[in-house]
Amino acid sequence: MLASQAERLTSRKVRPLNDNLRHALTNARLQPVDVAAHLAVDPKTVHRWLKGRIPYPRHRWAIADLLHLDEADLWPELAQQHRAISDEVQAIYPHRWSVPQATWRHLFQSAAREIGILTYSGLFLAEDTGIIRLLAAQARSGVRVRILLGDAGALEVATRGIDEAIGPTVMAARVTNALTLYKPLIGADNAEIRLHETVLYNSIYRADDDLLINAHAYGTPAAQAPVIHLRLTEPQAAAATYLNSFERVWDAAKPHAERA
């Protein structure tokens, strides 16, 4: 019995201290108690993470966002799990809310030619002042920024609100709020906002050849639906289908300036 207990003890993996997380907290001038308060967890839990225990994904993403780092910078041992599934499919996220905020920033910051956003309101991005400033900075640097939002008065927007069980007027209000928050981009060189009246099967977020596709599911809020990270690898690839869809919606949409 003692021998079997010893075998179990020696077979347990001893996790090394997470020096990456410790150094990141030091550089950010944060204490474990600060992280605990931000994530609403017990400080003892943060100390366990520093000792090598790997947090749940939602906590890893929250810590990475808090420290403005990528998850792989803090837990490099997880990098293997985040390698591209294929040349075209880079990653799949079970929900839009599970995409780390740092991933959205990196996507738009990586653009050298073009940024494209196709959604109904995109309010979760519009409410992020850092993202708005990043989009404006990219436009000033010469990157073309095109944003497609739903027409608040369109039947399709109202129908989406009904499908999500939030009511026909709530979705329209979100579009109106988003337009107010996107105001720093209105009239800016290289940036344009258009309003569309299409049935939105997917929201598309593009930076050059990289796309985050938020698939829509009936009765499911977009934040709960999956997101696929695609990379354009060839003209007939799946990513090209979404890029063509974006262009068709753009061509049929009305410039926001005309409606102001």
Per-residue model confidence (pLDDT) at position 77: 67
Q: pLDDT band for 141, please (50, 70, 90 cuts).
A: very high
- The answer to whether the beta carbons of residues 63 and 35 sit under 8 Å apart is yes
Which band of pLDDT confidence, cut at 50, 70 and 90, is reported for residue 13? very low
pLDDT band per the 50, 70, 90 thresholds, residue 84: low
Residue 49's alpha-carbon distances to 46, 52, 245, in angstroms, are 5, 5, 44
Q: Tell me: pLDDT of 116 over 90.
A: yes
Q: How much of the chain exceeds pLDDT 70, in percent?
A: 88
Give me the pLDDT at residue 3, please: 43
Q: Are 126 and 167 in contact (CB under 8 A)?
A: no
Instruction: Point out the least confidently predicted range of 77-81, 84-88, 186-190.
Output: 77-81
Residue 140 has pLDDT above 60, yes or no: yes
How much is the average pLDDT of 52-77?
A: 83
* Cβ neighbours of residue 171 closer than 8 Å, sequence gap 6 or more: 120, 121, 150, 157, 158, 160, 161, 164
Least confident of 46-60, 63-77, 116-130, 154-168: 154-168
Q: Is the pLDDT of residue 170 over 50?
A: yes
User: What is residue 204's predicted lDDT score, i.e. its pLDDT?
Assistant: 95
Q: Which domains does the chain have, with CATH numbers?
A: 17-80 (1.10.260.40), 89-259 (3.30.870.10)
The mean per-residue pLDDT over the stretch 124-135 comes to 91
From the list 94, 128, 95, the residue with the least C-alpha distance to 222 is 95
Average of pLDDT values for 128-151? 92
Distances (CA, A) of 143 to 102, 117, 157: 20, 13, 29
Give CA–CA dist 45/55, Å, rounded.
9
Return the pLDDT at 223.
85
* Cα-to-chain-centroid distance, residue 122: 11
pTM metric for this prediction: 0.70
Q: Cβ distance 101 to 65 under 8 Å?
A: yes
Q: Which residues pair with 193 in a beta bridge?
A: 147
The beta-strand segments (E) located in 151-201 are 191-196
Burial of 242 (0-12, 13-18, 19+ CB in 10 A): buried
Predicted confidence at residue 206, as pLDDT, reads 95
Look up residue 55 and give its two tokens. Answer: 């947090």
Backbone angles phi, psi at 23, to 5 degrees: -65, -40
Mean pLDDT, residues 74-80 taken together: 69
